[in-house]
Structure formats: structure tokens, C-alpha cells
Structure 1
Amino acid sequence: MTAPMDVPSSAPEAQPGAVLTGAGGSIQGRSLRQIAWLRLKRDRVAMAGGVVVAVLVLAALAAGVLDKLFGLIPTTAFNQDLIDPDLQIPKGAFGGISLAHPLGIEPTSGRDLLARIFAGSWISLLIAFLATMLSVVIGTLMGVVAGYFGGWVDTLISRLMDVFLAFPLLVFALALAGVVPDNAFGLSGDVLRIALLIFIIGFFNWPYIGRIIRGQTLSLREREFVDAAKSLGARQPYILFRELLPNLAAPILVYSTLLIPTNILFEAALSFLGVGVRPPTPTWGGMLSDAAHYYQIDPEFMLVPGLAIFVTVLAFNLFGDGLRDALDPRAR
């Protein structure tokens, strides 16, 4: 029988770090934010939508500054010499497109369409963003409270959501915007109309995101970290805002990007029906309403604001879908 071989005590032990280093360097951990960003970068369609959204936001911010503070955007400059006096349509083909007016001019007035689209962008995006923020704040607060406490609190808030969802919002918006005078609540002019639209769109749309947050909260309140916080004596406000709310950041962000284009369309619809921001301040919906009278003789007049709304809504939807897939790949 052979004796077992003795292993020298001086033999070095293999270290896991040495193996990893020899394989090409140490492994670095990645946060959930970094992982989501890597997934989002791989989605070229979503990144293209994000680039368009960024360009639109920068253009709207620039338009607001240039138009309101410095008056450098000629939204009310009339060019009657470019209008056919007999037909009252722009001279030349394709709605009077030229180097001076790349998107053409309006019939009868001769106002530059590019300047009016550029100036109207900040109104549409401002109303959509602020209305979405209002909806998100109310919906998140109501959804978290209903999902966490349950019982009669959940029943009361859920029935309130049902009432708001069944409310004829468009009819109410038409009635409220039509009866509010030009001076009310210490506001007047465009500021009053913008504030009124933000209130109507934001306050009555919160149940959509509220239901989503409620469902997520119902799932999160049974998780181990909530039980651990309770066992350590954490109070309910701490659990709501320090434990649950950070874990709801992803769905809040995703559904906010999907709610913004809906609000853009709703603002355009109200302006189209004549209860939005009033002329001569340009809005995309108001330009579509004016173009409805000339679509047979000058279809390009309707095409420009229609494409502006279409491209903006499409870019937000593509970016929102990509962001949802990046933050929750299981939802694909």
C-alpha cells in the first residue's frame, strides 16, 4: 500500500481574485440605473425618440425665451405681398415655400409657419409637462395611500378614481374654459388660459397613474424590506416615502413619459375647439383649426401643424416604450 503524497506547506493557495484578474481584469458591479442605461442604449428606436424629444424640449425653451422676452420670433409679421389678392392664397407652389419661409406661409395673412410652429411649441410642451406633473403628484400620493393602508381607505380612493374616470372630461373642459372670464384668480390673458388648461388636464387625469401606483404598492407592501422596517419600529410616513416611494420611481418615470403625449393631444384638441390659448398667440391646435377652412385650396397649411403634433407624440411614445423595456425587461 502506497503512502499518500504530502502536499508542501509552502505551496500558494489559488485566490479567486487572481483567477479573475488573469481572465481579463476584476469584475465591477453595476447599479440598476447603469444596467437600465445599457439596455436603453441598445434600443436604437428609443434612443432616436429620446434625441427628438431632447431637440423639441430645447427648441421649446428657446422659443419661450426668444418670443416672450425678446420678441425675436416674427409670429405676427404679415406678408401681404406674398398673398394672391384674388385667391387669397400664397403665391407660388406648395404654400409659398421659399428660402425665407421654409415651411410656407398662412393664407390671407402671410404669417410665417415656421415661426408660428416654433413659438407654439413651448405652449404645448409647457402645458403637457406641468399637467403631467400635477397628475403624477396627485396620482402617486393617492395610489400609495390606497395600496398601503387598504381597507376602507382603499375602497374610498378607488371609488373616487372610478368617479373621475367616468367624468366627461372633454365636455367639462369645454364648459369650464368657455365660462371663465378673461380676468380671474388674479390672472389674465395667456397666463390664465395656460393655468386653466393645466388644471383641467392635470387634475382630472390623475386616476390613470393612480391605479398603476396602487397596484404596484399592493405588491411592494408584502415585501421583506417593508416587514423589516416595521420590525425596526419605522413609522408609516417613513415607510411610505423612504421605503415604498423609491421603489416606485421606475413605473412613475415610465408612465409619465407615456402620459405627456396624451396631454399634448388633449391640449391640441381643446385649442382646435377654440377653448385653449386664444389668438394671436400661436398653438398647434389653433393652427389646425385655422387650416380646416383652407385645406381644399392650401393643404400644406394643415400639414405643417399636423406633422408637428404627430412627430412630437410619436417621439415621446417611442422613448417611453424603450424606457419601459429598459427598466422592466420582463414586461416585454
Structure 2
Amino acid sequence: MVVGPGTVSDQLPVVPDPAEGAVPGKAVEGRSLGRIAWNRLKRDRVAMAGGSVVIFLILVAVLAPWIVDAFGHPPNQFHQNLIDTSTLVPKGGTGISGEHLFGVEPQNGRDIFSRVVYGARISLLIAFLATLLSVAIGATMGVVAGYFGGWVDSLISRAMDVFLAFPLLVFSIALAGVIPDEAFGLSGDSLRISLLIFIIGFFSWPYIGRIVRGQTLSLREREFIDAARSLGARGPYVIFKEMLPNLVAPILIYATLLIPTNILFEAALSFLGVGIRPPTASWGGMLSQAATFYTVWHFMFFPGMAIFITVLAFNLFGDGLRDALDPKGRR
């Protein structure tokens, strides 16, 4: 039927063809899983604040000699002129001044600011290397136990139970107390640091090993693992190419939460006198010395706050990292 003028069709609006005069739009940019996790982490202000403090502490530890030269004094230099000879406490109570930002120690007058800064090097170095050792051992044992199962899983799991039931603190005190001043070609601070790294790292691997084992047990039943096996992939290939990339997130999360635990453990050993030996500065050792002068508040306050802020920053950053990498497990 021919529609003439004045009919209903003349009153209908003309819809333009979308292909005519279309402006080419911007292509949608794909985002990797890492970038998505980073965007989630950036929105968590508490985690970002903790991460900023962690970066600041690392820079302080690395740049300790230059920071001390600019704002303090050598950590083992005595300032007897600032000590009251009758009470052995700093003159004025703390000795805090423009030259001594955190005051000076009772009895010998060493600069507390410099010793706290140098103590950060000891605590962070031991904590990072001990965590690296425990993660390497724990991740390897956990993946092997979870993937192969059977008697391999039983053997490694029983070894984890033995290590977890071991009285680590008592053993650490005994081992650190019997090691001589020179052993294994090392001496002094190098020997003590290596010993603490070994004790803390080697005996802490079952914690992360059990987590990795549980994740591996779940992953080995997934479709992509079955597909790799059906194509003829052997165990080492499946472990290193298929499983480990999917285990990076839980390993990284637990490592950030294990570092503050190792910092506290190193401080406890130094506090008990079996860690880093004087006159080398360590936060635990400073707290041990401050216990003798418990009435001098600043001597205990600054190393204690250094431990508190460091542990809190790592915990906040670790919680935020867990939420960013595993949003489904977020509370």
C-alpha cells in the first residue's frame, strides 16, 4: 500500500542511521589482575598509610649512616657531660635537645635517636631475611606435600607438626647461648645476625607450609590442572608453571604478616640477652637496658614506640594487601 502525504507516517520522527556520522570511540583498555589489585589497594587508605610507613622505615634503615650524620651522633659515642654524676640520669631528666632529638641514655649518655635508627637496620634485616628463608622452605614443602599427597604428604605434615610443637623460644635461648664468639667462619655481629636468621627462619616455615599445602590441595582438583596433566605435563611443570603463579597471592600476604612476628621475636631474644650483643644497637637490647632505669621514661619509650609502629604498619599493610588480592575473603 502506498502511503500518501498527510498520513501517520509523516508524523513519525526520523531515526538517524547509527553508522552515519558515528564518532570512533576510545578502545577499552584491558586491566591485568595485578592492576586491579593495585586499584583496590589504593582505595584502602589505612593500608596505604601502613605501606607508606613501611617504605619510610626501610629508607631509614638503608640511609641510617647519613641520617645519623645529619641529625644525631655516632651510636656508641659517650656524652658523659650530659649525665648527672650523682643520679646517673641525663641532666634535665631526658637530655632532649636540638642535638639529641630523643635524648641520651642514662649512665653513659649515648644518643638514643642514633641507636633507634641503627636498630631499625638490625630488626628489619633479620626479619626480612628470616621471612625469606621461611617462605622459601615453607612454600616448597607445602606445594610438594599438597600436590603429590600420599606418603609424601604424611611425612611432610608430620614434620610440620613436630616443628610446630617445638619449644622455639627455649631452644633459641639455649642455642644462642652455647654458640661461641667465632663459628662457621663468622664472628661478632655477623655471626649473631646469621644465627638469628637461621633460628627464626628455619623453625617458622611450618606456618606458611600448612597454608600453602591447603591451597595446593584445592588447586590440584581444578580444571586447568587436569588439562595440563591430560596434555602430558609432568609434576615439576605443573608445580612451577600452573600452581605457583596461583599461590603468589597467599604467599605474599602471609609474608607481610610474618615479618612483624619475626621483628617481635628478634626483639624478644635481644631483650633476653641472647640476640644482638652490646654495644650494637637493637630495639630489644635497648628495652632490656631501659628496664634497669624504668623511671627514665624516654629511654624505654622511643625503642618501644619504634617496635610498636613498625609492627602496626606491617599488619595494616598486610591486611589491606589480603583484601586487595582476595576480595572474596574480605569481611
Task: With the length of structure 2 as denominator, give the TM-score of the two structures.
Answer: 0.91
Contact 1:64 1:122 in 2 (8 A): no
TM-fit CA distance, 1:20? 8.6
Q: What is the rounded CA distance, in whole Å, between the counterparts of 1:20 and 1:231 in structure 2?
A: 45
Structure 2 counterpart of 1:81: 81
1:289-320 per-position Cα deviation (integer Å, ceiling 9, x unaligned): 00000012x01110010000000000000000
- Could you list the per-position Cα deviations for residues 125-170 of structure 1 after superposition, in whole angstroms to 9, with x for gaps in the alignment? 0000000000000000000001101111111111110000000000
Superimposed CA distance per residue, residues 269-298 of structure 1 (whole angstroms, 9 cap, x where no aligned partner): 0000000111110100000000000012x0
Structure-1 separation of matches of 2:184 and 2:66: 25
The aligned residue for residue 7 of structure 1 is: none
Q: What does the per-residue CA deviation read over 1:162-204, in whole Å, with 9 as the maximum and x for residues that have no partner? A: 0000000000000000000000011100000000000000000
Cα 1:112–1:231 shift into 2, 3 Å = same
Q: CA 1:224/1:13 → structure 2, altered by over 3 Å: closer, same or farther?
A: farther
Are the equivalent residues in 2 in contact too, given 1:254–1:320 (CA < 8 A)? yes
- Report the aligned-residue RMSD: 2.1
* Cα distance in 1 for residues equivalent to 2:152 and 2:66: 45
CA distance in 1, matches of 2:60, 2:66: 10
% same residue:
70
| Match of residue 245 from structure 1 | 244
Kindly indicate whether residue 292 of structure 2 is the aligned counterpart of residue 293 of structure 1. yes
Q: Which runs of 5+ in 2 are unaligned?
A: 4-15
Matches within 5 A, 1:113-262: 113-262=112-261
Partners of 1:141 and 1:280 in 2: CA distance: 38
> Looking at CA atoms only, which structure, 1 or 2, has the larger radius of gyration?
2
The code of the aligned residue for 2:243 comes to L
Could you say which residue in structure 2 is the equivalent of 1:267?
Answer: 266
- Which aligned runs of 4 or more in structure 1 are off by greater than 3 angstroms? 11-15, 64-67
Q: Distance in 2 between matches of 1:285 and 1:150?
A: 42
Q: Which amino acid aligns with 1:92?
A: G
Q: Deviations over 1:207-255 (max 9, x none)?
A: 0000000011011111111111111111110111111001100111110
Structure 1 residue 28: Cα displacement? 1.6
Report the equivalent of 2:43: 42
Question: Relative to structure 1, is the Cα distance of residues 145 and 98 closer, same or farther in structure 2, using a 3 angstrom cutoff?
Answer: same
Mark the runs of 5 or more structure 1 residues left unpaired by the alignment. 4-10
Q: Is the 8 A contact 1:73 1:119 kept in 2?
A: no
Please say if residues 270 and 282 of structure 2, whose CA atoms lie closer than 8 Å, have aligned partners that are also in contact: yes
Deviation at 1:26, TM superposition (A): 3.0
Partner of 2:6: none
Length-normalised TM-score, structure 1? 0.91
C-alpha deviation, 1:27, in angstroms: 2.0
Query: In 1, Cα distance between the equivalents of 2:45 and 2:53?
Result: 12
